[in-house]
Homo-oligomer: A and B are copies of this chain.
Amino acid sequence: MYINSIGHYLPEQVIPNSYFQEQYGFHDKDIVEKSGIRERRKAQVSENTNTMALDATEAALENLPYPIEEVNLIIGATYSPYDTVGTVAHTIQEKYKIAPAICLSLTAACSSYCNALEIVQCFFATGKATKALVVASEHNTRYCNENDPASGFLWGDGASAVFLSAEKIHEQDAKILDIKTNGLGHVGKSIRGVFLRPKDGGIRMPFGRDVFQQACIHMQKEAEKILESNQFTVNDLTYLIPHQANLRIIDYIRKSMKLTKRQVVVNLDKLGNTGCASSAIGLSQIYDQLKEDDIAVITVFGGGYSSGAVLIRKC
């Protein structure tokens, strides 16, 4: 399948690390040392997961080479929903009057973007859909506890939208060569490592150390596996786009895979952890820099746990 157009949306409001100094005395350098995060974006009161998804869709629409009404599959990816009935996908369908279209929103935590892309791949394979829109949108600041010194400073808001087609539409469309996802509910602290219970306290990360360790193991493993199973090596890699949870995880993987800093896409310094939108925003940020035959790999790890990878080649 092919990427026809991609875009992202970031809320205007910037929350610098100094904000948390007032909350619980962490200095800027403490937070940078712990996480690599310098600032993050926070949605306004009038914004939510659905409005950010619409704004990301607008950004992706600019370069869309066909009318949006031709889309026949819309998948929202979010673990921080505004509305679980009028979902991200239904909100987009409503705004643009896209019919007929299959619509749903899903979560596998921070892996959700990869899961959504994999479902598109499966729908395309059956011919049930031919053009799809996937929107990853997270409103972490609505569910996190800013006053929690363990993880309150990690989270940011944002969204990214990508239009996909089963057949190549334009010469410059990048090809998604492979997608793999894995549930890892059987591993480590599993569903207790990090959770988001909408009616019971929102986002909590009681076992941050286990999440950190599992992310290091599985994000590297997923990236290497998807390259290998498609007859590529790490040397063929132009960009690695890891889930953006912590710069120390990203640095560990970069060193372990012997990649340069230029090869590894980082946005969490400016955005914090934007959940399943983080790798989606990362892909959007470097998409225009991709040259012919460049290879990009998205690799993700999410709470629950889950992992996944996507292999992309610029045509």
Contact = CB atoms under 8 A, between A and B. Distances in A.
B91 A109 contact: no
Contacts of A105: 106-108
One complex includes copies of this chain to the number of 2
A97 B196 contact: no
A36 B288 CA distance: 57
A101 interface: yes
A87 B198 CA distance: 12
A155 interface: no
Contacts of A85: 79, 107, 109, 191, 194-196, 203, 302-304
Interface of A: 50, 74, 78-87, 89-94, 97-109, 112, 115, 118-119, 121-123, 125-126, 128, 142-143, 181-187, 190-192, 194-200, 203, 302-306
B183 A101 contact: yes
Contacts of A200: 82
B103 A84 contact: no
**Majority secondary structure of chain A interface residues (helix, strand, loop or mixed):** mixed
Given A91-B185, A104-B108, A183-B93, A81 B84 contact: yes
Contact of A102 (B99, B101, B181): B181
Contact of A94 (B50, B106, B112, B185): B185
Given A93-B183, A122-B122, 18 more contacts: A81-B107, A82-B199, A83-B195, A85-B107, A87-B109, A87-B304, A90-B190, A90-B191, A94-B186, A94-B191, A99-B184, A99-B186, A102-B182, A104-B106, A105-B106, A122-B125, A125-B125, A198-B199
B100 A182 contact: yes
Contacts of A194: 85
Contacts of A94: 185-186, 190-191
A90 B198 contact: no
B198 A81 contact: yes
A283 B20 CA distance: 52
Given A90-B306, A183-B74, A302-B85, A115 B104 contact: yes
A84 B303 CA distance: 9
Contacts of A119: 119, 122
Given A104-B106, A190-B90, A199 B143 contact: yes
Given A84-B79, A85-B194, A194-B85, A185 B90 contact: yes
